[in-house]
Amino acid sequence: MKVNEVPQDNTLKYYEGIKRACYAINDEGKYVIVASNGWNAEEFINGLAVHELAVNLEKTRKAVFEGVKSPLAYHMERRQMIPDILGKTAGIAAFRVKRHCRPEIFAKLKDSVLDRYADALAITREELKTVPQK
Amino acid sequence: MKTEEIEKINFPGKEPEKISRKGKVLLITSEITSGGRPFVHHHAAHCESGVTSALFRDKGLEISEPMIFGIGSGIFFGHLPFVKFVGLPISTYRCQPGAIFRKAAKRLGGKFVTQHFRNPRKGMDEMRRVLNTGQIVGLTTNIYWLSYFPNRFRFQFNGHNIIVLREIENGFRVSDPVLDKPVDCLTEDLIRARFARGPLEPKGFMYYPVSVNHNPDLRTACIKGMLDTCNMMLRIPLPIFGIRGIRYRAKKIITFDKTHGFEEACRQLGMIVRMQEEVGTGGAGFRYMYAAFLQEAAELFGSSELDELSREMTAIGDIWREFAVVSARVIKKRFKQEETFAKAGGLMLICAGREEELFKNLRIVAGNLKS
């Protein structure tokens, strides 16, 4: 990659102002670091992954309103966690985390357990019990 | 005096400036550590090699990022079908996290302190203590909890490396080599990032040099690094690592849409490209950075063969970039006829063939070099 071939597609929204370091060859044939402000191909691929996460999160949010899943499932997914990671962080066995994703079981949880989840997810206990309307 | 005032007095121009060093244009920013010493932030392509070279530089050994990357044998390929990330298998273009620092430190020499912590409070206290002695500290963190990153790059990955410079009001001044200037990080974020759970737990890992060898045997270190790399790429007798891994993955990609269906195939292909370009690689899955290392080594040894290999590595890197572009088009479903999974996989097969040739040559060249 030559210095003038380093992509500068100016995907500002995507990089939010940060720049990426790329190695490229200058006119004298030496490698230098060039700051790139975005590449369309990369932005597109990253966009797919971000979009997928957002779609799944939205599905879970709707499932909570339909009473299929508990708010815990939503907040876990919002933090991009899986029961295994959340269980380790909160100090609760993964199979219990999975059970707590069912609304009827989540509703009976003690405050002490809720607090552990809230701590692990960096939200308050009140936030944990609800999901955003929109 | 508040920290901001110190900055203003010592460093009126906080914006990154371009300086030329040894003919290289680098993006640098001046900072100050808790010991009051100036710290120069270099924009780096990869977190771990960036942090390691910054730690060495802080101790007075001027060494570039590609050099650390090469000596630490950073380049690799591995397809890990059993390590899932958002439900997708990982294809990695580098060796396991932590290895670059470990190997580079061993080969260059010096006295290093590495510590793990079980208790977050003890971990933070120890870090503060070390910072107060004027030392800068390298940390392994979870990238999701580092809120100074754009949201799109934040995911649960426990192998991001940063340098902490000094404590500021309710936070820390952090030099993240992937970013182009130092940033502030909240204490709470940092605790969560350091003690995140899940695969590859950092367990509050922190590391810093006490002293480094100021006249390291660069030549021996380079040769060791190159030979180690060749062994990893060529000699691991498993089909998922090294050149075999690239071939294995490429053959899978060719039949991707038939075996997985178009949607799932696109997700998997997207994942490969993300690992190649997005995760701070300096372009083409570290291949350009390794070419930069080979170029520097060629100057060091005065070897025209290494220079030749560097150019070949650059050419391979260009094919990897093309692979990324073709993959993006396949997923976009544009140019339906020409751009197919078979073409993307074919490009990867070409990469495999040329890299095999390159590393075989490198093994011969490195074996003949005199330390």
Q: What is the pLDDT of residues B313-332, one digit of tens each?
A: 989 989 998 888 888 888 88
* Residues B131 and B21 both lie in one domain: yes
Write out chain B residues lying below 8 Å of A78, CB-based: none
Q: For B338-365, what is each residue's pLDDT tens digit?
A: 678 888 888 889 989 999 999 999 999 8
Write out chain A residues lying below 8 Å of B284, CB-based: 1
Residue linked to tokens 């509050």: B204
C-alpha count within 13 angstroms, C-beta hemisphere, residue B136: 28
What are the helix and strand counts (H, E) for chain A?
A: 8, 2
- Confidence band (pLDDT; 50, 70, 90) for A59? very high
Domain region containing B301 = 218-368
Chain A CA closest to residue B20: A32
Compute the distance between CA of residue B234 and CA of residue A41 in angstroms, rounded to an integer: 30
A1 touches chain B (CB under 8 A): yes
B43 touches chain A (CB under 8 A): yes
Write out chain A residues lying below 8 Å of B44, CB-based: 21, 33
CA distance A46 to chain B (A): 7
* Residues B247 and B358 both lie in one domain: yes
- The one-digit pLDDT tens for each residue of chain B (371 residues) are 333 333 333 333 344 444 444 434 455 566 777 777 788 888 888 888 889 999 998 888 888 888 999 998 888 888 888 877 777 888 888 888 888 888 988 888 888 899 999 999 999 999 999 988 888 899 999 888 988 888 878 888 888 899 998 888 888 988 888 888 888 889 988 999 999 888 788 888 999 998 888 888 888 889 999 999 999 889 888 888 889 988 998 888 888 778 887 888 888 888 888 888 777 676 777 888 899 999 989 888 888 888 899 989 989 989 998 888 888 888 887 556 667 888 888 888 998 999 999 999 999 988 888 77
- Per-window interface: A 21-50 vs B, CB < 8 A: 21-26, 28, 30-33, 35, 39-42, 44-46, 48-50
Residue linked to tokens 């992954």: A49
Lookup: tokens for B137? 């500290």
Going B13 to B16 to B47 to B141, the CA torsion angle's sign is: positive
Write out chain B residues lying below 8 Å of A19, CB-based: 43, 179-180
User: Is B88 a member of any domain?
Assistant: no
User: Is B71 a member of any domain?
Assistant: no
Write out chain A residues lying below 8 Å of B327, CB-based: 45
How many domains does chain B fold into?
2
Note whether A33 contacts B45, CB cutoff 8 Å.
yes
Q: Which of B194, B212, B230 is the last residue of a domain?
A: B212
* Residues B147 and B233 both lie in one domain: no
- DSSP character at residue B151: G
Give the total residue count for chain A: 134
Note whether B295 contacts A42, CB cutoff 8 Å.
no
How large is the ipTM? Answer: 0.86
Q: Identify the bridge partners of residue B92 per DSSP, sorted by sequence position.
A: B78
Structural domain spans, chain A: 3-38, 52-129
pTM for the whole thing?
0.85
A55 touches chain B (CB under 8 A): no
The domain that holds B126 is classified in CATH as 3.90.70
Write out chain A residues lying below 8 Å of B325, CB-based: 41
* Residues B42 and B132 both lie in one domain: yes
Q: Is B85 helix (H, G, I), strand (E, B) or coil?
A: strand
Fold for the domain defined by A52-129: 434 Repressor (Amino-terminal Domain) (1.10.260)
Q: Which of B189, B212, B235 is the last residue of a domain?
A: B212
B66 touches chain A (CB under 8 A): yes
CA distance A102 to chain B (A): 21
